[in-house]
C-alpha cells in the first residue's frame, strides 16, 4: 500500500497620527512587540504550535530595498523617500506595498481611490486574494470591530478586545467596483462558520464586511441575502458575517487599525510560511444583487481567477489576451487533472478528493495519511490516493473501490461527501472514520479477524 497525492495535476511527495479616509477612521496599531513574545490564538488554545502564525520574521522593506538615491534616514533609522516634484510628504520605505510596487499601503492615498474593509479569517490569505485583483491599488492588514483603541496583535488575537483580523482594500472605482470585491469576498471563505474559519478559532477570525457609506452598506446586505439563497438551496448553514451600518457605529468600532509591518503582504515575503485555513463553500455567488453596470470585471474573469495562497503573487491582468491565456491554462489544468484521476482510479483503492481552497489540503493530508497508516498496519496492501480539484469547489469526499472480477469492471462507492451531504462536513469524528474503514473492509472482502486488525 501507499499514499499518493496530486495537487492541481502535479504529483507530490508525501506609530502614525490619526488618519481619516472615506468614512473609515484609520490608525496605526501599537508598536510591534518582540517577535519572540508573539502569542497566537492557536497557541493560547493549546493547539498544534506547528500550525500557529508565527513563522521566522522576513526581512523588512528597508532591508530589502535599501536607501533610495533620493532617500534619507530618519531618527529611527528608517529610510524616507522624497518626491521633490510634488508637495507630497516624505514616505517611509516600509509604507510601500511589497507587491504593488510604488503604491503605499497606508495613508495618504491618491484622492480618486476608494477603500473597503473585509474580514474572512486569517488576514494573510485574505490580503493576497485581494491584492491580485486588477484595479486594486494596494492592500493592508489590521483589526476592526473592537472596543479597544490601538490594539496590538497579541491583544487582538486574545479575543478580549472584540477585533477581527481584516484586510483594507484600496481600489480604483473606474477599474474595479465594490460589487466586484463582494464577489471575491463571498467566494474566498465560508461565511457560515461564526467565530472561526477552518482551523483558526476565536472571534478574531469572524467574517465581516465594513462598508464606508450607505450605498456600499446596502449592496453588502443585498449580496449577503442573494448568496444565502444559494447556500440554502444546497442545505448550507446561515451566513454569520458581521455587516455593521457605518452610520450607526461609533468611532472606536469603525476604526481600522493597521497591524505592524511584519504582517503586511506577509505571504509575498522571503521566509514566509504559506499558511491559510479558509474553507470556501464552492457555491457560485449570484450577481443579481446589483445592476450589471455595477460590475467592472467581466464575468469570465472569475472562471480562472485563483484566490488561493498557492497562486502567483503578481497581480492579474484583465485584458482580452490575458483572459484568453488564463482560460487556456485553466483548461490545460482541468485536462491534466482528469488524466491524473483516471490513473489514480486504476492504481488506487481509496481516493480522497478535495477542494483546492486553502483549508482543505491539510484535512485531506491528515485523513489520507491516517487511512494509509491503518491499512499498512493491517497489512492490506491498500493504495490510498489524494487529488485536489483545479478550482475552489467545496469538495471533500472519499471513494472506495470494489475490484471487479471475471471481466466485471471496478465499482466505486462514495462513502463520504461534504458536498452531497453538507452536514457530513469533514472526516472529523471516530464514527465517520469507522464508516470509511468498514467500506474498505467490505470492498476488500476481509474476514472478521482482518476487520479487527483494520480497526
Strand order in the sheet with 383-388: 10-12, 2-7, 383-388, 350-354, 396-402, 411-417
- State how far the Cα of 147 lies from the Cα of 392, in Å rounded to an integer: 35
Confirm whether 157 is a catalytic residue.
no
Which parts of 110-250 fold into alpha helices (H)? 123-131, 153-157, 178-187, 214-233
Q: Please give the backbone phi and psi of residue 315, each rounded to the nearest 5 degrees, phi first.
A: -60, 150
Retrieve residue 5's grid coordinates. Answer: 497525492
Sign of the dihedral through C-alpha 356, 417, 202, 249: positive
The single residue of 14, 22, 92, 122 carrying the catalytic annotation is: 122
- State how far the Cα of 246 lies from the Cα of 23, in Å rounded to an integer: 8
> 3-state DSSP call for residue 188?
coil
- State how far the Cα of 11 lies from the Cα of 30, in Å rounded to an integer: 44
User: Which of 185, 188, 211, 220 shows the shortest CA–CA distance to 294?
Assistant: 220
Retrieve residue 34's grid coordinates. Answer: 518582540
CB neighbour list of residue 76: distance below 8 Å, 6 or more residues apart: none
Q: What is the enclosing helix (H) or strand (E) of 324?
A: helix 320-347
- State how far the Cα of 189 lies from the Cα of 239, in Å rounded to an integer: 11
- State how far the Cα of 112 lies from the Cα of 72, in Å rounded to an integer: 29
Q: Which residue has the cell 461564526?
A: 194
For 5-15, b where at least 16 C-beta lie within 10 A, e where not — what string?
bbbbbeeeeee
The DSSP annotation for 65-132 comes to: H---TTEEE-TTSPEEE--TTS-PPPEEGGGB-SSSTT-BSSS---TT-EEEEEEESSHHHHHHHHHT
- State how far the Cα of 445 lies from the Cα of 437, in Å rounded to an integer: 12
Q: Which residue has the cell 503573487?
A: 313
Known catalytic residues are 122
Amino acid at each position: 500500500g501507499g499514499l499518493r497525492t496530486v495537487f492541481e495535476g502535479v504529483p507530490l511527495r508525501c506609530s502614525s497620527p490619526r488618519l481619516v479616509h472615506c468614512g473609515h477612521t484609520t490608525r496605526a496599531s501599537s508598536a510591534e512587540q518582540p517577535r519572540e513574545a508573539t502569542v497566537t490564538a492557536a497557541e493560547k488554545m493549546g493547539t498544534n504550535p506547528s500550525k500557529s502564525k508565527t513563522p521566522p520574521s522576513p526581512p523588512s522593506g528597508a532591508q530589502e530595498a535599501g536607501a533610495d538615491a533620493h532617500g534619507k534616514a530618519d531618527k529611527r533609522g528608517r529610510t524616507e523617500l522624497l518626491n521633490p516634484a510634488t508637495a507630497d510628504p516624505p514616505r517611509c520605505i516600509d509604507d510601500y506595498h511589497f507587491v504593488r510596487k510604488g503604491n503605499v499601503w497606508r495613508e495618504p492615498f491618491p484622492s480618486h481611490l476608494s477603500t473597503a474593509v473585509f474580514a474572512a479569517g486569517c488576514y494573510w490569505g485574505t490580503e493576497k486574494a485581494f491584492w491580485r485583483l486588477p484595479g486594486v491599488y494596494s492592500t493592508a492588514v489590521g483589526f476592526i470591530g473592537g472596543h479597544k483603541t490601538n490594539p496590538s496583535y497579541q491583544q487582538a488575537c486574545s479575543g478580549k478586545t472584540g477585533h477581527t483580523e481584516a484586510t483594507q482594500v484600496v481600489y480604483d472605482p473606474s477599474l474595479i467596483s465594490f460589487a466586484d470585491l463582494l464577489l471575491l469576498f463571498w467566494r474566498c471563505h465560508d461565511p457560515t462558520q461564526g467565530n472561526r474559519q477552518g482551523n483558526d478559532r476565536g472571534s478574531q477570525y469572524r467574517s465581516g464586511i465594513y462598508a464606508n457609506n450607505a450605498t456600499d452598506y446596502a449592496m453588502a446586505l443585498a449580496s449577503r441575502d442573494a448568496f444565502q439563497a444559494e447556500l440554502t438551496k444546497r442545505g448550507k448553514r446561515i451566513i454569520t458575517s458581521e455587516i455593521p451600518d457605518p452610520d450607526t457605529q461609533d468611532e472606536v468600532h469603525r476604526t481600522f487599525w493597521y497591524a505592524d509591518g511584519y504582517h503586511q503582504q506577509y505571504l509575498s515575503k522571503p521566509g514566509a510560511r504559506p499558511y491559510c485555513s479558509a474553507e470556501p463553500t464552492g457555491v457560485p455567488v449570484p450577481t443579481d444583487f446589483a445592476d450589471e453596470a455595477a460590475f467592472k470585471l467581466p464575468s469570465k474573469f472569475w472562471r480562472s481567477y485563483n484566490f488561493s495562497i498557492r497562486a502567483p503573487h503578481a497581480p492579474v491582468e484583465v485584458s482580452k489576451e490575458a483572459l484568453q491565456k488564463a482560460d487556456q491554462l485553466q483548461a490545460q489544468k482541468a485536462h491534466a487533472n482528469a488524466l491524473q484521476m483516471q490513473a489514480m482510479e486504476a492504481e488506487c483503492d481509496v481516493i480522497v478528493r478535495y477542494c483546492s481552497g486553502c483549508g482543505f489540503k491539510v484535512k485531506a493530508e491528515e485523513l489520507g495519511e491516517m487511512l494509509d497508516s491503518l491499512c499498512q498496519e493491517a497489512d492490506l496492501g491498500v493504495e490510498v490516493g489524494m487529488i485536489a480539484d483545479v478550482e475552489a469547489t467545496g469538495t471533500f469526499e472519499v471513494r472506495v473501490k470494489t475490484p471487479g472480477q471475471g471481466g466485471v469492471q471496478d465499482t466505486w462507492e462514495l462513502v463520504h461527501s461534504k458536498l452531497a451531504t453538507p452536514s457530513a462536513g469533514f472526516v472529523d469524528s471516530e464514527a465517520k472514520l469507522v464508516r470509511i474503514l468498514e467500506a474498505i473492509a467490505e470492498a476488500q472482502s476481509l474476514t472478521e479477524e482482518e476487520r479487527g486488525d483494520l480497526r
